[in-house]
Structure formats: structure tokens, C-alpha cells
Chain A
Amino acid sequence: MSFVTFVVRHRIRCLVATVGIFAVIFSRTAKTFKHSSANKMEWLESFWSTYNTLVLSVGTNVLLALSIYLTLSCGLLTVANAAFMGLGAYTAALLTLNTQMPLWIAALAGALVAAAVAAAMGRPTLRLSGVYLAMATLAFGEVVRILILNTEQFTGGALGLNAIPQLTQWYDVAAAVALALYLLLGLARSRVGRTMAAIAQDETATELMGLNVRTYKLFAFVAGAALAGVAGALNAHFTFFISPGEYGFERGVEILAMGVLGGTASPWGAVIGAVLLTLLPELLRGLGHYRPLINGAILILIILYSPKGLWDLLRLGARAPKAAA
């Protein structure tokens, strides 16, 4: 029995085991775990102070993965999401820094700016497909980064923006993730989601079903940009500091990797991909210098054994008993 079939057959147990391993690792690293209730609170506090950035990063990464899920599920390979994240982050941070605006309104403004830019650039670029679209969005991402770098009077240029108020709480991120998941799961079940899946499979055939393919693609692109904008805004308000370098090519590829790793068949795929790619480097921390090596090896194995993403693997496992019956 291969490792994969084992995981598929015992997926619930694997899930529980993973959670268990997490708990052990966290408790070991926290080192202060004792059995008295007072110390439990202490443990929680110490855990939170060590890992709050990580937990919040998981949340914002889930949002980013969902943002690229939207375009990937439409068959569009775009890598501009890091740039839209940057637009959201800078818009929101500038608003809270200069006007003491509440976080949620600033995040909404960030989403709107990202969406507006996406709508403007989407019209011409979404005529492209495949690698050409990837190239165009890649170039756009660089334009945004360099634009932020060179408008020093507003954005602080290469020095970035400092002392951004730390307004993002865990419940802000949790609420944003829950809302985004709820909407995208509803979308996936709706006619719009079905049409997007059809476009991913055969664009020409979908168009000849009387559906305006370009409108659907633009919708996916703009909605994805808005989501990335929200993620950027939330992220900027707990990292204290942002600079243009954070929203460059590497970030774009990282977001793409989360989306592809999890799989594009369902929003849950994006969630799995984001959680895994954010936590994996932390879980492998004990490996020291070998960490990036093992990290990469695990990703390669997953892509090799489940090219349609992890979600597909779990889904196939769920379907297998039915096929046997």
C-alpha cells in the first residue's frame, strides 16, 4: 500500500494525527505547559505572544489563496495577486496612518482600489491566455512595485511605511476568512461557479453555450483582486511595517503555489494549500539548515502524487467507497 492510498483511506485519522502533532510541537516549544489552570492561561498567553503573527499569517494567506482560487478556477493563470495585496495594504495603511480610520473601512477601501485597478487592467489583458497572461500580470506586478518604490512622497519609497497601527485582531482575520469562504462556497455551487469551471475546461464551448466568457473572467479577476486587497490591508495592520519588496515576484509565486498545491476544484483546496505552506516551514524549524530542502521535497512529492492538488486527493478518497459499493 503506497503512502498516498494510506492517507486517503485513513484521512480522518491523518487529520487528527496532524492536529495532535501540532499540539505536541506547540507545547514543546512553549515549554511552560503545566497542569494547573493558572499555568494553562500562562501557557496560552505565551503561545499567543510567540505565535500570534503565525496564526494571523495563516488567516491572511488563506485569503490570498482564495483570491487566486477565483482566477485559477476560471482557468486563468495570473500572478498579479501580490500586487493587488500591496495596493490594498498601502491604501489601507495610508488611510489609518493619516486619518485614524477604523480598520474595516480602510480594508474595504483597499479592496476597492485593488478591484478598480484590476477592472482597468483586466479588460485588455484578459484577452490573453496561458503563459501570455501570466507574463502580462507578472509585468503588471512589477509596475506596481516600482510605482510604490518611486512615489516616495506618499509611500515612503524603499523605506516603506512604518509604525502602522496594529489594529488587526485575530477575530478580524477569522471573520474575513469565514465570510470569504462562505461566499466562495456559495459561488462554487451557483451557476456562476459552474460556468467558471466550464470556462476552465473549454472556453470556446462555453462561449458557444451563449455565455459571455469575458464578463465571467473579468468578474473572477476583479473579485480575486478585491480579496487580495483585504488580505493586504489586514496583513499590514499586524506587521507594523510594510515595504514594496514584500509584494514582489516571490510573493506572487508563493500565492500561486498555495492555490495550486491545494487544488482548484473547491475553495477548500485553497484553504488547505495556504495552511500547509504557512505552517510547513514552522513545523520543520527543528531541522535547521535542512529546512528549505525538506520543505521543497515535501512540495514536490505532493505535486507528483496529486497533480490536481491536495483537495482532489481527499475528494477521491471520499468517493472511493461509493464506487466500490
Chain B
Amino acid sequence: MRPNRTIRNRLLMFFILIMLITALTSVYSLFASLRLGGRVDQLTRTEVLMRNIRGQLSETKQALDNYLLLQHEENRKQVQRTTENLQALVVGRNTPYQSQEQLMVKDISFLIDKYTIQLNGVIEAKTIRDIMGYTEAYKSAELTASYINSYIDKVLIENLNRRTDAYRFLSESYKQVQLFNFYLVVTAILLTVLLIMLFTDSLTRPVVRLAHLAEEISRGNFEVADLQVKTNDEIGVTARAFNEMKNSIRRYVAQMQEKAQIEKNLAAQKVKNLEMQHLLKNAEMASLRSQMNPHFLFNSLNTGVQLAILEEADRTAEFMGNLASLFRHNVRRLWRSNTIDDELRGLHFYADLLRVRFATTYRIDLSIPKDLRQIRFPPLIFQPLVENSIIHGFEHKEGGGQVRVTGLKRNGKIVFSVKDDGSGMTQDEIAPALKPISFSDEDFSSRSGLGMRNVVLRLRLFFNRDDIVTIQSNLGEGTEILIELPEEEAEHV
């Protein structure tokens, strides 16, 4: 957008304004001094004129006396010259004016005319040697000259009075004028300085702010406020463009950051998927591998059960029947979700087997309310945990023990607990137990002591929560493994 008020125009206007103030002050000073000069000239003009007349009158008289004495033609010409000069001084002064002074000057001009005529009369009488005539004429001329001189005095006195009055008025008036001049100059200076300051400020402030903003942005901080410039000049346009640019960059950066986050999440998801796939693959392989033997083993067990029935070995038949059921339960696909109810069923088989297997009595209590039994759950979770308790919890404990598998709702969560009263764990043992098994673990294939970590990993992956399993245990006080999931995340079948 083309600015309406360009810096050039603003500068021009500003300079014109400053020049106007200065010019007004200067023109005023010139006017005042011219006026004063004119006044002084007017006041002294009459005095100068009167002096000239008096001087010229004296010269004329001198010339006349010389002529009368010597009667040289040169002297006559001198008289003529001086009278002409005298008359020239008062040329055009015959108009009456209202001023006394000018009226008297007019009188003088007429008297000079008369004097000139009388001088001519003297010269003429002298030329024809009319002694009486030129003596009379000379006396008359002298009288007229005395009138002129007397009038010159009066004019000078009148002039002096007028000058005194004028001077009094002028000095009185100019005192006030000087006071106002002082105000004028002071206000002109203050006004100019203030306007210069304001203008400079208005011109540089946005530029300075722009520079600061640019510096801030160059440091990577796009969260600065927009530059507020109200002017509509190039700086205003630049500021608005700068604001637009800053906001655009900020938007792009935000978009890029968002994109980067999405990509990061995507990459993490990919890694997770890869891990999952890897785990699946291994599980599948393990499953396939295990499916080979279980079928044979399962058939052999069934044959064994029939054989035991035929031989009437009922306990053997029951044991082998339970073992066969447990196998059947366990050979299902590991990654197919089942319910808590399925888990409990498997645990029953496992408990029956334990009773036959171990001479020591282990009591396994299963107490999960019915409303929690239909929750979708990964398979083979509780059995490894119970097995873990029996193998590790009661390893150094004589006289058997108790394992309680419970479920309840607490504080908006569903909590499953596998608790034993075995030898417990040290705090140092808890953390490694909770560390999920990784497919990169070298000992993964060995499957030694990894039941717990396998369970943890599968639970985390299934519910997509890292804090799903916690262990509470103290040495000698038993161990409780807690599986907590928010109620809203529990999926009922």
C-alpha cells in the first residue's frame, strides 16, 4: 500500500512549519525595525531640511554680500545658484497640511519665494546703481531672511516638541513591544524545539522499536507483541509489513513444530509397532513351536488318563486330567485376549496341579467379584504371577503359604491384586522385576526368570499404560503385585 503521508511529505511539512515560525519572527523583526527606522527618519527629516535651508540661506546671503561688494559676474551667478538651491529645498511644499510643522514649512517656502524675488530686486537695483532702491530692497530681503530664520526656529521647536512626544510614545510603546518581542522569541524557540523533539521522536521512535523488535525476533522470540505504529507513512507501512512477516513466521514455526511433534509421535508409534510385531513374531514362533509338543503331549496325557482309569488309579487320572486341561487352556494363542473369567479358570487347573505337585500346602484364594470377571484381559497373566509367588516367595519358607488373587474397584480404578505372604522382596529387587522384557535381551530366549517381566510387558502393551503394574513388598512381609487400570479403560466383553 502506498502511504498517504510519506516521510518526504512529513519532512517537508515540518520544515515549512519551522520555517514559517522563524520567518514570521524574522519578518516581524524586520517590520518592527523598518517601522522604527521610518519613524526616526520622519522625526529627523524636518530638522535636516531646516538645517539645510538655514545653511543655504547663509550661503545666499554671503554670496549676495560678495556681489554687492565686488559686483563680479561670478558672484552674481553664485547668488543665483544658491537661491536656486534654496528654492529646490522647498519645492513641492506648498500644499497645506493639518500639521503645524508642515504649515510652517509651507510658510517658509513662500517666504523663500519672496526672498528670492527681493534678492533679484537688490541685484537689479545694484545693476542700475539705484542706491536707494537696492538699500531698501536689501533691508526687505534681510527682514524676510530674519522671518525665515525665526520660522526655522519655530519649526525646530515644534519639531522638537513633536519628537519629544513621539520619542516618549515610542519608548513607552517599544518597551511593551520589546516585552512582547521577548515572549515572541522565547515562545518561537520553545515551540520550535518542542516541535523538533516531537517530530524527531515520532520519526525515530517506530524505527527504534522496529529495531528492538527485529533484534528480539532474531533471537528466536516470535511471541513479542505487534509493533503499534499509527502513522501512515513508509515507517507505518514497514511496521505493518514487519508485523505481518513476524506473525507469518510465527505461524510457520508453530506449524513446523506441530508437524515435528506428529512425526515424532509417529516414529515412536512405529517403534512401538515394530516392537509389537517383533514380539508377535517371537510369540507366534514360540506358540508354533509349543503347539507341536502340546498336541503330542496332550494326546499322550489323554491316553495316560485313560490308562490310569483302566488301572483304577483315580488320583493319577485326576492329576493327568487337570494337567491336560491346563495344557488345553494354555495352548490357546497367547495374544488372543480373553477375560478374567478365563484367567480364573486356568488358575483353578493350576491350583489343582499344585496340590498334587507339592507336599507343602499352598492355599490359593481366588476372590474376584462377578462384575469384574468379564473384563477383557490378556491371557496367562495371573498364572505366572501366582507361579512366581510359589517359586520365589515360598522358596525359602517352610510350612506353605497363601496366595490371594483379588479384584476390586477403588477410586475410579479397577485393581487386581496377587498377594502372597512369602519371604518378600527387597526394594532393589522390585525395580528389575518391573523392567519390561525387551526382545533385544540376550536372555530372552532362555526364558529364565522372565515370567514376571513378560507379564509386565504384555500388560503395558495391551493397555498402553506404563504404570499398570506396581509391586509392594518388604522383606519378610510378603509381596503384593497390583494391576491397576482406570475404570473407563476397562473393556467389558
Whether A associates with B in a native complex is no
B residues sitting closer than 8 Å to A (CB atoms) are none
